Amino acid sequence: MSDIKVPESPLPSLPRLGISPSSSLHTTIHSLSHDQVQATAQQWLDALSAACSPSTGSAQQVLNLLVKGTGLPDPSTGAYAIAPFWRDMLAFTWDLRTFHGEGKISKFLSARLSETGAKNFKLKREYTFLQKPFAGTHAEEEGKEEAARDLLWIHVMFDFETNVGAASGIARLVPVPLANDSAKAEWKAHVMFTNLESLANFPPKVGPLRNFQPNHGKWESARVKETNFVDADPKVLVIGAGQSGLEVAARLKYMNVPTLVVEKNERIGDNWRKRYEALCLHDPVWYDHMPYLPFPPTWPVYTPALKLANWLEFYADSLELDVWTSSNITNVVQDEKTGQWHATVLKGVGKGIGGKEEKEERKFTVNHIVFCTGLGGDTPNTPVYPGMDVFKGQVLHSTQHNRALDHAGKKVVVVGACTSAHDIAVDYYDHGIDITMVQRSSTYIMSTSNGWEVLMKGGYWEDGPPVDIVDRINASFPHHASIELNRIKTSEVAWLDRDLLESLNKAGFRTNLGIQDTGFGLLAWNKAGGYYLDTGGSKLIAEGKIKLKSGSQIVRFTEKSIVFEDGSELEADVVVFATGLGKQTDKIARVLGPTLAEQCAPLWGLDEEGELQGAWKQLGTKNGLRGLWYMMGNLALCRFHSSHLTLQIKAIEEGLIKSRYED
């Protein structure tokens, strides 16, 4: 269903590791006690600690603790074999990288092991356990997937230190039979994940490091002075006060990096407040918490957009973030010698006579600019068809749509079949308005009632582990290593959703299982769309309450209708195109100009390593565009990766990054 192809990487099930279900070794592995698991994990971690020692260790010793395999396809068959993965986030590389296969891992370790100075490894015993990810599921019971039937690993979580700060790691150990005794096995890591947590000499000023000084009557005047940057320029200029901009600002503030957030809207949260009235998050609350200030336990599972908008305003106020609303950046120029950015900001200072917003021009010299302007571009993707100029009805993009009651008594057509299209169509139906959805291509559908339990239960869930722990566990699955894993989970969800999917297909709605049958994950990472996480819209389509036109493409408009390739016509008074937005680089070009925007790295989509392009790291170091960043993603991604972006900025400010691994 897509031309996007991701390399296959087989999961290390016991049969694939050479362990027969009828063998005594198989029985021994499945019956490991808690104490045996802990002892095995500790033994492996001790060996890793010795292998990282600057006096006695080496890259080869570390490599010996991982499974063998090149990560390359067999020249004759093209098939991939089991091979190790190492995903690193800043701890070893000062970058976000994934290495697959002995060759790439060996090269990276040889270059970075001694410089990193990894030491003081400590097992986190409460998160070290034997894991059987598909035990008791339909995939295992029905024997539909070979890997699901006999897949297990020892999940090892640990803390360690580097030369610059605190770090954490996760390894998944699998049993590899001994060459000289197949009745015994040694445990080796199939996946390694390492993550920089904080900088040793510059920890965030939270918890025991918070301000202990009493403040009698000085707080308000100090805040006014601080927010207006009276005494000094900010070090960082953040563009946009949505969740990504606020989280970057919060993390930088508590690392003592002065940061100004510039927001074009009148109020913080207007990026959610000004969207269509029916908008509600489809991600559950346990997944969406923000750093320093999680949602309260009374919060609903699915957050209405207006409620989130108000929360963002509260978040900025509570954390004392320096945000200028009704403000715009009018000019940005980089100093070629220093790499600093000279920025002109028109600051909104209130409404004057006649209600017109008055502006004050301020000029700053900053070290970093962070774009926090969302996943889409400025320009709506509105298709153009012959006859649209003679159509007597109203044509809108979803970004221009406000509420269903604006079109009471009209015949409305929504073009598109993903999240926004479903939300808008449901809103029209709920208000008794004649609504038809036009589906141009197939859509991945997952019910939130079944899907989230399969994908998140035990992690981002009620009474789950702390969200910071789950973030690291989630990130420890490299994208290319997770293809088969996600395919099995997608199959499990589809089996649970079988009645819903069958009813949709009977109604003519075309569904798919995502890129390479992996559900919505690769669709999100590569296309930022192509799916609908069902919260009720699918049932309405299946029952015909939201009418459907599918299987034929639009060819033209008439004065009163849309005409399709099959010759059919659909009468319409209002047509809403829920067809996405343009490129993120459009927003960069608006601020920096097209020449600098063209020099920036690509944004979004997985690179050849399986890492997201552009986001959460500098956009143009190879082109001399120092200090330019893009922060983007949903609430969960912003929570986790705002740490990576801000740690890099702080480390640059303090001169801690001597080099990055760039091979």
How many CA atoms lie within 13 Å of 46's alpha carbon, on the beta-carbon side? Answer: 6
Supply the DSSP symbol for 394: E
Number of C-beta neighbours around residue 121 at 10 A? 19
pLDDT of 66 above 90: yes
Number of C-beta neighbours around residue 611 at 10 A? 21
pLDDT of 144 above 80: no
Contact 63, 106 (CB under 8 A): yes
pLDDT in tens, 236-266: 999 999 999 999 999 999 999 999 999 999 9
- Name the pLDDT band for 179 (thresholds 50, 70, 90): confident
Query: Whole-model pTM?
Result: 0.94
Rounded to whole angstroms, what are the CA distances from 384 to 235, 554, 568, 572, 573? 44, 10, 19, 16, 17
Check residue 516 and give its pLDDT.
93
Check residue 269 and give its pLDDT.
96
Q: How far apart are the first and last CA of the chain?
A: 33
The angle at the Cα of 605, spanning 586 to 134, to the nearest 5 degrees, equals 145
Side chain identity at 575, as an amino acid letter? V
pLDDT of 2 above 60: no
Among the ranges given (174-183, 330-339, 369-378, 603-612), the one the predictor scored with the smallest mean pLDDT: 369-378
If you write DSSP's letter for every residue of 176-240 in order, what string do you get? EEETTEEEEEEEEEEEEEEEEEEETTS--S-GGGS-----SS-HHHHHHHHHTT-SS--SEEEE-
Average pLDDT, the chain: 93
- Name the pLDDT band for 505 (thresholds 50, 70, 90): very high
Check residue 80 and give its pLDDT.
81
- Name the pLDDT band for 216 (thresholds 50, 70, 90): confident
Rounded to whole angstroms, what are the CA distances from 559 to 390, 414, 416, 433, 572? 5, 17, 21, 21, 9
pLDDT in tens, 486-495: 999 999 999 9
pLDDT of 78 above 90: no
Check residue 412 and give its pLDDT.
97
Which one has a higher pLDDT value, 136 or 400? 400
Rounded to whole angstroms, what are the CA distances from 429 to 261, 401, 547? 39, 15, 10
pLDDT of 351 above 90: no
- Name the pLDDT band for 147 (thresholds 50, 70, 90): low
Check residue 199 and give its pLDDT.
98
Q: Residue written as tokens 């016509």?
A: 569
